[in-house]
Amino acid sequence: MLIAAPTMRKIIAMVLFGILLLPLASASDVEFTELTPLSSQDLALNAGDVSPDGNTVLVVGSEGFIHGLSGDEPGDRGKDISIDSGRSASFNDVAWHPNGETALIAGELGAALRYVHSDQTIESLNGATILGGLELTSVEWRAGGDLAFFGAKNGNIYVKDAEILTEIEGSMNSSIMDISCHIEQNICVVATLEDGIGVIDRTSELTWISGTSNRAWMAIDCPKSTLYTCTGFASAREYLSIRLDIEDASKSTGDLDGNGEADVRVLEEGDSDFIKLSRGFDGTTIVHMAPMESVRYEPKIDGMVLHTSSEDLTEFNPSVAGDSIALIWEKGQNDGWMITNTGKIVQITPDETMPSLGIMETIVFTAVAISVPGVIIGLIYMNSPFLQRKYRQLRGFDKKN
């Protein structure tokens, strides 16, 4: 049966309209369970990191606080590791060495420290005296584990090798907000509050990426080993993909628009703002937001989905929703834990009561991908006497017996 062209147009319009109405994410697809907090007193945690084997989580905070907890059973206080830093300075960041035997800690008053996991001791790094009382804001190891980089509040960047800590040339003046290194390549990126995004190559040479200096970058991540990209997250819910040049890191660039400017994307939905991030499951990034919320960034599609909503957290526990996220870590998609700045620990699991849209979305989009082009071609054919005539000629319908 032939269908009139106007009717076919209506069908196409209805299908496309239906696609537009598919929900992006209006509520968390997770549920929460509160576990035993780190302390009966509110803490002031600033950051955390998970050991490479996933067994130990180190968290750091104010007044020299360093603490270890189980990566698999973070609610079990019997598995905690009490660590005496012997310092009163506030610690801002921590990064495990790729071999999992030590970790570096960055903080106020020139705190550049090493944690030794075997005996839970803390020691100062060689060469740390050059820092004076400078506040260190971030630290990260590169993939090879031979070098680590510290960022400072005054914009300085320092490299730590096996022997000593030295300053990198080419630093700017605004605070280093975050440092991330590619998982397999010895290339790192830095995000600053006012001076843009920089790339550190294999020889510790620093290059600044043009078109990135007019935004307040809060965090940056290179989560996928198979992709030569990192993503910076800025205030005002903006984010930008950085394409690493593996042969010559100084030629790395941000995604550009048609005018040669940085092609910054904006998370349109919601009103929370980016502040920090954690590494998510399967090469994703979980971006912390304020007020209390998180989104998952998928580098393969350069897009975001809601992870935990402030509304759902408020309904779960208003005191948790009033905190900020210190760290999130996962053992599966939407399956992991969150620790807040006050030391509350929340288990996050997939919400079994939510309908799974993954298969249905796949079916819908596959059907659309197959059917819509055919429908469009059919419409063109039905509205073209020339094509109809050619088709009849090819099939021999116009030949006389």
Tell me which of 8 and 202 has the higher pLDDT: 202
The pLDDT assigned to 357 comes to: 45
Count Cβ atoms within 10 A of the Cβ of residue 61 and give its class: 0-12 exposed, 13-18 middle, 19 or more buried: buried
Tokens 């490299």 locate to: 159
Of the chain, the percentage scoring pLDDT greater than 90 comes to: 75
Residue 308: pLDDT over 90: yes
Q: Taking residues 361-381, what's their average pLDDT? A: 51
Residue 394: pLDDT over 70: no
- Determine the straight-line distance between the first and last CA of the chain, rounded to whole angstroms: 27
Name the token pair of 391: 């088709």
Name the token pair of 276: 């920090």
Residue 297: pLDDT over 80: yes
Residue 378: pLDDT over 80: no
- Between β-strands 148-152 and 136-141, what pairing exists: parallel, antiparallel or unpaired? antiparallel
Q: What is the pLDDT of residues 98-147, one digit of tens each?
A: 999 999 999 999 999 999 999 999 999 999 999 999 999 999 999 999 99
Name the token pair of 293: 């919320």
Q: What is the pLDDT of residues 151-184, one digit of tens each?
A: 999 999 999 998 899 999 999 999 999 999 999 9
Where does the chain hold its CATH 2.130.10.10 domain(s)? 33-363
The pLDDT assigned to 353 comes to: 74
The pLDDT assigned to 340 comes to: 98
User: Residue 56: left if φ>0, alpha if ψ -120 to 50, beta else—which one?
Assistant: beta
- Between β-strands 285-290 and 81-84, what pairing exists: parallel, antiparallel or unpaired? unpaired
Of the chain, the percentage scoring pLDDT greater than 70 comes to: 81
The pLDDT assigned to 373 comes to: 55
The pLDDT assigned to 377 comes to: 59
SS3 (DSSP) at 389: helix
The pLDDT assigned to 110 comes to: 96
The CATH code of domain 33-363 reads 2.130.10.10
Q: Taking residues 369-384, what's their average pLDDT? A: 56
Average pLDDT, the chain: 87
Kindly report which listed range (1-5, 111-115, 254-258) carries the lowest average pLDDT score.
1-5
Sheet architecture: strand order including 148-152: 136-141, 148-152, 157-160, 165-167
Residue 395: pLDDT over 90: no
For the entire predicted model, the pTM comes to 0.82
SS3 (DSSP) at 209: coil
The pLDDT assigned to 290 comes to: 96
Kindly report which listed range (76-80, 265-269, 322-326) carries the lowest average pLDDT score.
265-269
Residue 263: pLDDT over 80: yes
